[in-house]
Amino acid sequence: MDRKLEKTDEAKRENRLERMRELTATLSKAARVYYQESGEIMSNLEYDRLYDELLALEKETGVVLSGSPTQKVGYEVLSDLPKEAHPTAMLSLDKTKEVAALEEWLGDQAGLLSWKLDGLTIVLTYEGGSLTKAVTRGNGEIGEVITNNARVFENVPLKIGFQGTLTLRGEAVIRYSDFENMNREIDEAQEKYKNPRNLCAGSVRQLNNEITAKRHVNFMAFALVQADGVDFENSRTRQFQWLESLGFGVVEHRHVTRENVAETVAYFAEAVKEYDIPSDGLVLTFEDIAYGESLGRTAKFPRNSIAFKWEDEIRETTLSYIEWSPSRTGLINPVAVFEPVELEGTTVSRASVHNISIMEALELGAGDAITVYKANMIIPQIADNLTRSGVKDIPKICPVCGGDTQIRQVNDVKVLFCVNPQCQAKKIKSFTLFVSRDALNIDGLSEATLEKFIAAGFIKEFADIFHLDEHKEAIISMEGFGQRSYEKLIQAIEDRRHTNLIRVVYGLGVAGIGLANARMLCRHFKYDFDAMREADSETLTEVDGIGQVLADAWREYFADPENQKMVDRLLEQLTLEPVEEEEETGEFAGMTFVVTGSVNHFKNRKELQALIESKGGKATGSVTGKTTYLINNDVTSASSKNKKARELGIPILSEEDFLKLLEGEYHAH
């Protein structure tokens, strides 16, 4: 009997361990997609539910598996930014959804209740009154150095009145209003940014801080780590007041005791509905600094603070159907349409499902009873599927053109594509881009007009625009047209037969090739379009601003024989005029430089590259046979660029060597 009990217990334990392995794999994959690939394969609510289940199993069994997400903090460091270890580990916070738990945790102490902001945690260091370093939280142990990016945050002071060493932590955030304004300028659904948090993470970790500067990143301080020689009289409140006096934005906070925690939480719960900064809860910290620090820490959590997660308002409803919305690049986006419900004071009836992976995780089918909520009390999401009838309505044909669809795996996420290159949904947006101001710039061809002409069969490819006069009578008889409108349109088209190659390359709409990329391609290939479209991947990546992804997209476009024929027919209709380029003059005229590694004498690599270009040289990203010099302060390193430079016999210069070259004093070793 005892042996049977032992076997039963052993079986139960093995089942629990197997479930823990499943949860660890599922959560780790979801975290990787979210933090590293800016995608989603499950909702935040579902992630929290599975995380809590894993945590409970770990406590029950006393086992923590290798790679468990309960033992990790933040994203893994993968970019090319410099890395740096934090002096002390940056821990996540223990959390609760119960106000009573906050009251019990606080006890007889006073505390500060503040927003838990949903961005990217940053550590700033100041020495002698100047910002000297900014490091991301990273994985809690090692972060990425993003000092140059922090310098262009909208509200980070570069100089402060305090001359000692100051270290503080805060959250880099992008406001909802700025996020919406940026998305408003993007036509394509699949190209829009998913949420402010992902956009912020990508913006903060850019290698080019010019991109960061355009993203309206703000910094809100939430903790002071070190301020040499300043007496804060053991008060967190005084720390915040002092930081504000130096010019820092500080997270909104309120003084609380056990007696007023509940009403203060209620205040924040009401305020979050209109709050412009993404927040996923609150943080309660002891006002008494010494008391909080005396409590120490657990393996993962500090004991001087606790997070409060919003108890989401969840409503049950019925999924009516999944709406599939095709776009210019072929991606077909699923949107759940359900019976309207009231959530957080508004009526909602739609929620993005993002992709097929999320649909499969929810086993989502029309007619299912589902629960919905607003993530961070803002964005409608599906919380759960109560009936789970299964995914059964992924369209096999595109709802717009009737062409075949295809399920593809992109960065661990299943997505649906229309594979018909003639799809009208693709063409309308493609033609809108083609006639836009920075491309062919044809007045009178609005998206609505293009849609009419495409539906009527007048336009099937770009060259057809220049044959619209063949449909004169039909166009004049269309609603909104007449003789005069027709004549103005035809004249506008005729005027644009004379254009330049930059406009044409941009207007083709090759994925990721913007106006600046089009200009760099044309310059690099000296306006030889045939050389440009026949270039191999290695040659394309020599072009400044063209990485492997863009090179692959370019080659894929021109690997299609139909695209080649279509472009040829277009070029027959155009007269390409030369683009006047400034003559290269200066000390570095005819020279090509590659700059890699950290720099000491310049603010950043961009500043050094700008100096090279101001002297007539070119600054590119890849070492090739055309490279004149590689600049790398670590001259003897075994990096791939150093290795390639040595193989090609290209001199490797330190910054000091470069400065001597600038003065005409450099002599090769």
Report the amino acid identity of residue 268.
Answer: F
Tell me, yes or no, if 116 is annotated catalytic.
Answer: yes
Instruction: Kindly calculate the radius of gyration of the chain based on its CA atoms and give it in whole angstroms.
Output: 29
DSSP state of 467: G
Give one word for 609, left, alpha or beta, with left for phi > 0 and alpha for psi -120 to 50: alpha
Q: Which residue among the candidates 116, 426, 427, 429 is catalytic per the annotation?
A: 116
**Contact present, 179 and 131 (Cβ < 8 Å):** no
* Cα separation values, 510 from 138, 455, 536, 549, 550, Å: 34, 23, 16, 12, 9
Instruction: Report residue 143 as tokens.
Output: 């972060």
DSSP notation for 227-287: ETT---TTBHHHHHHHHHHTT--B--EEEE-TTTHHHHHHHHHHHTTT-SS-EEEEEEEES
Query: Which sign does the torsion angle of CA 401, 404, 408, 413 carry?
Result: positive
List, in sequence order, every beta strand (DSSP E) within 438-597.
498-499, 575-576, 592-595
H-type alpha helices, 380-420: none
Burial 211-228 (b: 16+ CB within 10 A, else e): ebbebbbbbbbbbbeebe
Q: How many residues does the chain have?
A: 669
Residues 6+ apart with CB under 8 A from 48: 309
SS3 357: helix
Q: Which phi and psi (to 5°) does residue 57 adopt? A: -65, -35
Residues annotated as part of the active site: 116
